Amino acid sequence: FSTMSFVSTSYEDALRDFWFNMDTNALGTFLCAKKVAPVMASRGSGQILNVVTNHMKRRLFPPSSSEHSYDASKWAQFGLNESLACELKDYGVRVNAICPAATRTPMLQGFFDQLGLPLNRETLAECSGFDSLMEIEDVGEAACNILDWDDTQPVGKAFLLMTRDDCQRLKAGYAADLAE
């Protein structure tokens, strides 16, 4: 995970950061979907679940002054999620996304290491205003819960995951407040 500045980061470093994020998040989503969508469509069923970011929920998370490339790539991924859902629902393929907030991952740990801060709920609260820190297993549980849904559940939604409880709630099916 990296940050960049339009003012102080060199042109070359900013471009490298931008393409790394776009290749990983946007292009990665595009290529995976392009490979599996025809197979799923011919079968008449399947599920695609994209892992986007809580940054998509602007009502709670305003833009950052340093995560330009990351956010641009995640907005592209988010747009792909919506257009994939629109096209593929007619073929019986379900497309949704999860938007996890702070999750203890090597990427987030690296970001806090760069800041010289410990990764815990207290420092998250200081940095972001939210003291939620999920574990990878929590997000995995949310993904499994959504992938276990039947055809009565909606498609094209992006679910904000702030806490372990949010992840578990998806076991019962659609949670409208998490999709707002």
- Pick the catalytic residue from 11, 70, 91, 174: 70
Q: Where are the alpha helices (DSSP H) in 11-163?
A: 11-21, 28-43, 68-88, 106-115, 121-128, 136-147
Report pLDDT for 19.
Answer: 97
Q: What is each CA distance from 74 to 32, 38, 79, in whole angstroms?
A: 15, 24, 9
> In whole angstroms, what is the distance from residue 22 CA to residue 73 CA?
5
With b for 16 or more beta-carbon neighbours within 10 A and e for fewer, the 70-95 pattern comes to: bbebbbbbbebbeebbeebeeeebbb
Q: What is the pLDDT along the chain (180 residues), one digit of tens a residue?
A: 567 889 999 999 999 999 999 999 999 999 999 999 999 999 999 999 999 998 888 888 888 788 899 999 999 999 999 999 999 999 999 999 999 999 999 988 998 998 899 999 999 888 888 888 999 999 999 999 999 999 999 999 999 999 999 999 999 999 999 998
pTM, whole model, 2 decimals? Answer: 0.90
Dig out the tokens for 69 from the structure.
Answer: 């490339």
Half-sphere exposure of 79 (CA within 13 A, CB side): 9
Q: Is 70 a known active-site residue?
A: yes
